[in-house]
């Protein structure tokens, strides 16, 4: 029982200890919850939507896409729910976008939450007399939040068939590990889309100034005593976690054959936080390509597939195998409501798949007589 208790303590506080280590230096995979991706459409296309996203989810993927809305479009709302790792992790998303007085400008608000709830806190497992009391165990959540405020604008163009859209995000990150640790972070994103005939080109710079999460770790005296008694180190009280910039470049081509539409998109995601296990590896820059395809009929039903997260896995005999994360999905456009579904691999070693559902609702303003 003592061994189980110590393991529980270790599992609870490993996250805290890691997050409170080495201020100033950037941590690899920092704020990685923002790389999961929102909307079932994007998930089904392997997150390859940078060049073509043109709805409320653009505030997350590429804020420039918000400016592609038609002038008569009003309020648009978006929502998504997904459960990862057999329901252990829950990922939720809410967003809204509104036009400004200038019909070429639009703003957006997005809220993202990724959380693991119901984690047992075993610090109070023992009573003062040393006896075990399971009634003392309470649960806590480890949750990451991001709030994005987006602005987008359609630029004036002198050439017919060519259009440039630009946009940016102010990003606020809030991370909480029960009552043990909290952090606030701030960052900036910039994006652009170029439409040249049927060709779509997108570019996004995320965390372009680096995003800094300032952590505060707090323990009561009783909790400190238990940590020390079970041979756990006390983490630093204050530290800074740094998310380094990343860049995404996307290319797509829109094709229309009577009632059938065909849209392939290829993205390249470059990170700058050191060598990663991606298809193109480097230090400090690694590149992760992804590909998505959307086939539509009569602007009513859409079939999608994608592949991303190419990785090299080493077997016991030192052989290398290339793996990837596949995905499938379908979407329906029911008047002002869009319903999307995706079936996608979470990218872990057990090949577990998850169901992702998202909704987008248009609320157009009433026409004046």
- Please give the model's pTM, rounded to 2 decimal places: 0.84
2-363: in CATH 1.10.260.40: no
Token code pair at residue 292: 């998505």
The model's pLDDT over 240-269, given as tens digits with 9 standing for 90+, comes to: 888 899 999 999 999 999 999 999 999 999
Which CA distances in Å does 115 have to 90, 119, 288?
5, 11, 25
Q: Which residue has the tokens 């890691």?
A: 18
| Of 336, 341, 367, nearest in space to 353 by CA | 341
Token code pair at residue 178: 């029960």
* pLDDT for position 200: 97
Average pLDDT over residues 56-71: 93
Least confident of 143-147, 187-191, 300-304, 317-321: 317-321
Alpha-carbon span 248 to 270, nearest angstrom: 6
* pLDDT for position 14: 38
| Of 296, 342, 357, nearest in space to 45 by CA | 342
Token code pair at residue 273: 């936080």
Helical segments of the chain, H only: 2-19, 40-44, 58-61, 221-229
* pLDDT for position 61: 97
Alpha-carbon span 110 to 58, nearest angstrom: 10
287 pLDDT band, cuts 50/70/90, is very high
Main-chain dihedrals φ then ψ at residue 232, nearest 5 degrees: -105, 140
* pLDDT for position 202: 98
Task: Name the residue ranges covered by the structural domains of the chain.
Answer: 2-363
- Percent of the chain at pLDDT > 70 equals 82
pLDDT above 70 (res 48):
yes
Residue 326's Cβ-side half-sphere holds a number of Cα atoms within 13 Å equal to 4
Alpha-carbon span 68 to 155, nearest angstrom: 10
What is the average pLDDT score of the chain? Answer: 84
* pLDDT for position 236: 58
The enclosing H or E element of 174 equals strand 162-177
Q: What is residue 207's three-state secondary structure? A: coil
Alpha-carbon span 336 to 41, nearest angstrom: 16
pLDDT above 90 (res 350):
no
DSSP assignment, residue 26?
B
* pLDDT for position 4: 34
148 pLDDT band, cuts 50/70/90, is very high
Which CA distances in Å does 28 have to 81, 208, 249?
27, 16, 21
* pLDDT for position 317: 74
CA 58 to chain centre: 12
Torsion (CA) 92, 100, 67, 332 in degrees, nearest 10: 50
């Amino acid at each position: 029982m003592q061994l189980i208790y110590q393991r529980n303590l270790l599992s609870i506080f490993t996250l805290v200890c890691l997050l409170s280590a080495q201020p100033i230096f950037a941590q690899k995979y920092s704020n990685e919850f923002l790389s999961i991706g929102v909307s079932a459409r994007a998930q089904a296309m392997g997150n390859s939507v940078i060049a073509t996203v043109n709805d409320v989810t653009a505030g997350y993927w590429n804020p420039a896409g918000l400016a592609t809305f038609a002038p008569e479009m009003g309020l648009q709302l978006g929502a998504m729910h997904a459960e990862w790792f057999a329901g252990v992790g829950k990922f939720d998303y809410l967003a809204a976008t509104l036009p400004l007085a200038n019909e070429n400008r639009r703003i957006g608000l997005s809220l993202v939450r990724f959380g693991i709830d119901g984690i047992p806190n075993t610090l109070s497992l023992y009573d003062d007399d040393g006896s075990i009391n399971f009634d003392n165990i309470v649960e806590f959540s480890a949750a990451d939040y991001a709030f994005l405020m987006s602005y987008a604008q359609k630029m004036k163009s002198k050439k017919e068939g060519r259009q440039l859209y630009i946009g940016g995000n102010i990003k606020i990150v809030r991370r909480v590990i029960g009552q043990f640790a909290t952090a606030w972070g701030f960052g900036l994103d910039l994006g652009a889309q170029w439409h040249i005939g049927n060709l779509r080109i997108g570019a996004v710079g995320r965390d372009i100034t680096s995003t800094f999460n300032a952590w505060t770790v707090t323990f009561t005296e009783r909790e400190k005593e238990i940590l020390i008694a079970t041979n756990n180190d006390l983490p630093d009280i204050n530290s800074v976690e740094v998310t380094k910039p990343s860049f995404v470049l996307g290319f797509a081509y829109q094709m229309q054959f009577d009632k059938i539409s065909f849209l392939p998109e290829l993205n390249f995601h470059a990170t700058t936080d050191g060598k990663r296990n991606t298809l193109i590896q480097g230090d400090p820059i690694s590149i992760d390509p992804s590909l998505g395809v959307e086939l539509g009929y009569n602007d009513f039903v859409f079939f999608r597939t994608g592949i991303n997260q190419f990785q090299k896995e080493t077997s016991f005999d030192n052989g290398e195998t290339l793996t990837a994360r596949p995905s499938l999905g379908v979407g329906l456009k029911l008047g002002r409501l869009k319903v999307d579904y995706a079936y996608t691999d979470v990218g872990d070693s057990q090949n577990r798949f998850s169901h992702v559902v998202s909704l987008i609702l248009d609320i157009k303003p009433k026409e004046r007589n």
